[in-house]
Each structure stands twice: as C-alpha cells, then as structure tokens.
Amino acid sequence: MEENFQSETERLSYIVAITGASGAIFGFSLLKALINHSYFVYLIISKAGFKVIKDELRMFVNLDTSGNLINLSDKIKDEIVNKFEIYNDRFAFLDEMFLEAKIASGSAKQVKGMVIIPCSMGSVSRIACGNSGNLIERASDVMLKERKKLIICPRETPFNDIHLKNMLSLTNSGAVILPPIPAFYNKPQSIDDVISFITGKILDNLGVENDIYMRWKGYD
Ligand SMILES: Cc1cc2nc3c(=O)[nH]c(=O)nc-3n(C[C@H](O)[C@H](O)[C@H](O)COP(=O)(O)O)c2cc1C
C-alpha cells in the first residue's frame, strides 16, 4: 500500500519535546541543528514548558499558551523562526494535547527518534510509569515500544531517589539518559559553547555527523 508522506524531508524526522524544566534553549538549539542537517522536526512544548520559556527566553510573552494552541501554532512558529533563524517549512509545532497526531502511533515510520530536552522530573516520572496523558508522554511510549531512539535530557539538581529510580527504569526500558551537563576540557568561552557541546553530544548519540563542538582529542 502506498504511504502518504507529505514530503521527502518529512520521511526522515525526529521529535523534539521541550518540557517545563530549566534550559529550553537547549531544545531550540537541537531543533535548529536537526533542521540544518536536513531532518524534519515535530516540535512539542508542554504547558509548563511555555511557562519556563516565557521566563527564561522572554518568548511568547504576548500569547496565552494556557489553552489549546492549535490556532496559535503559526504565531508560535513565527516567533521561533525569527529568534533562531531557522526554516519555517522544516518543522511542525504540535499542541501537547494533540493525541490524534500521527506521531502518537507506531505507524509513523518516518520518525527515527525523539529527544526530550530539557526533561522535567514530572515528565520523567510519567514516562517511566507509561502514563501517556499527553503527546510528549505518548510519543515517548511509542519510541520505547517500537525500540526507537529515545533520548531524555533530565534537568534537576540534586536528584532524589525517586528521580534516580525513574531514570534507571527508563534506561532499562531502552531510553538514553543524557543530562545536559557541560564539559570543561573544551574550554568553553561562552554559553553558546556550552549549548553547542550538549547539542553535539545529542547529535552524536542520534548518529548524526556533526562538528558543532570541540571533541576531546587526547594526548599523544
Ligand atoms: C520557571 C520554572 C522552572 C522549572 N524548572 C524545573 C526544572 O529544572 N526541573 C524540573 O523537574 N521541574 C522544573 N519546574 C517544575 C515543572 O515545570 C513542573 O513540575 C511541571 O508540572 C512539569 O510539567 P511537564 O513535565 O508537563 O512539562 C519548573 C517550573 C517553573 C515554573
């Protein structure tokens, strides 16, 4: 049977989810990097994610993001496109309650994997329990059941034993726990250097060739 792909780029896609933990800038950096590497990206931002973005990045401040966002998706995309200088037609913004989305199902074969960055402890907990109440949780559940790549970038410090148990449970289920912890061997000069390092580490883990961060070369 013929599959109904919208475009060639959409054939190879990733899901990027931004939840309500500190560091949404990492999520937007990954969105831009994947688009620059010719992938189509499905972007989901949780309701709490919008709260943190408004506070940390001063984005979407004039939008009421507390309700259904389907009618606001063009405005949300425009703001992302303008701030991060990325192509508008290479990503789709999906409301976190849009459970009818194709990525909510294992039949979305064009999706190669998913990254939740930053990932709140709330989302870690719900995904670890298989509690798929929104599209972020459901798409994560699909990644695990389909044995596709699911990278979770948890943001909290310190971790309590509940956080650690949930992350152990996720790693045992096949997820990769990749905390956005910077290295200093590459002598970062700016916050951008730190963001690029984490973005590059994620791309490496997805198997996407990149040279956006300085690798440890070792001593002879
Ligand atoms: C400004 C702000 C920053 C937050 N930072 C974190 C954080 O770094 N890690 C975390 O686990 N929760 C953080 N929270 C709490 C979560 O947003 C909250 O638990 C929320 O219910 C998570 O929902 P979500 O997982 O659906 O995004 C923060 C909340 C706010 C308002």
Ligand 1 binding residues, C-beta < 6 A: 19-22, 46, 48-49, 51-52, 55, 120-123, 155-156
| Token pair of 95 as six digits | 């409301």
CA of 88 to the centre of ligand 1 (A): 28
Distance between CA atoms of 29 and 35, rounded to whole angstroms? 10
Across the 220 residues of the chain, what is the mean pLDDT of every consecutive 10-residue run? 45 94 98 96 98 98 93 96 95 96 95 98 98 98 98 98 98 98 95 97 97 90
Q: Which atom of ligand 1 is nearest to the CA of 96?
A: 26
SS3 assignment for 19-62:
CCCCCHHHHHHHHHHHHHCCCEEEEEECHHHHHHHHHHHCCCCC
- Check residue 220 and give its pLDDT: 85
Q: What is the CA radius of gyration of the chain?
A: 17
Name the residue at shortest CA distance from atom 30 of ligand 1. Answer: 52
Tell me, which fold does domain 10-206 have in CATH? Rossmann fold (3.40.50)
Q: Which two tokens stand for residue 219?
A: 């001593």
Distance of CA 72 from the midpoint of ligand 1 (Å): 22
For residue 122, the ligand 1 atom closest to its alpha carbon is 25
Query: What pLDDT sits at residue 10?
Result: 52
Tokens of 120: 């709140």
Q: Could you tell me which residues are beta bridge partners of residue 16?
A: 43, 115
Per-residue pLDDT, 9? 46
Amino acid (one-letter) located at 109: K
Q: Nearest-CA neighbor of 151 among 124, 133, 131?
A: 124
Per DSSP, 106 falls in state T
Closest ligand 1 atom to Cα of 134: 26
pTM: 0.95
| Pairing mode, strands 13-18 and 40-45 | parallel
